[in-house]
Amino acid sequence: MPGLIGKKIGMTSVFSVDGKNVPCTVIEAGPCVVTQIKTVETDGYEAIQLGFRDKKEKNTTQPLKGHFQKAGVTPKAKLVEFKGFEKEYQLGDVISVDIIGEESFIDVIGTSKGKGFQGVVKRHGFGGVGGQTHGQHNRGRAPGSVGASSYPSRVFKGMRMAGRTGGDRVTVQNLRVLKVIPENNLLMVKGSVPGAIGSYLIIEM
């Protein structure tokens, strides 16, 4: 599906027409530049590769320098492919936030914040074992039993246990676009989106 590359600016809130305070996320969406056009004849499928935000040439590898020179654009920091654009684009064309209309619905893809190694309460939402008045004093956040004894004499795969959490690719679907500010390439969507402030986002329509 068509879309844009963006960057998470932060969260704020706006008042709706009926006076409700609505939390929203501000996203810098585009402008994106067409860096490659893939066709069925050459690549086996149709897609458009978009680039977002300039990157220093000294930090760009030689193969990518040639890739950007072929497209006639400066090096870009983030490249993403999109399918389903109705309009035909050429190399070097700029796609801005104008293609997204207010009160429309979009999907936002990002990388969630990494939390490092966490226990089962934070990672899986466990409630803890027992209560504080039943003789135990240090098992409140423990996972409890993880398996049987003599049979099957092992822990089943997929058992929810402590470990690294966060840092996953997360898609939030059907976010309503509250406002589009084309002159600043800003997009305001209802609710929250995955990722830290300043992280890249993929916006699909």
Query: What per-residue confidence (pLDDT) applies to 128?
Result: 76
In terms of residues, how long is the chain? 205
Give the separation between CA 192 and CA 190, rounded to whole angstroms: 7
> How many contiguous H segments (helices) and E segments (strands) does the chain have?
3, 12
Q: What is the DSSP letter of 57?
A: G
Give the separation between CA 123 and CA 121, rounded to whole angstroms: 6
Query: What per-residue confidence (pLDDT) applies to 61?
Result: 92
Query: What per-residue confidence (pLDDT) applies to 131?
Result: 65
Q: Which domains does the chain have, with CATH numbers?
A: 3-123+169-204 (2.40.30.10), 124-165 (no CATH)
Do you find a cis peptide bond into 23, omega within 30 degrees of 0?
A: no
Neighbours of 142 (CB within 10 A): 16
Q: For each successive 10 residues of the chain (205 residues), what is the average pLDDT?
A: 90 89 91 90 90 90 90 90 85 87 90 95 86 73 85 91 94 92 91 94 91
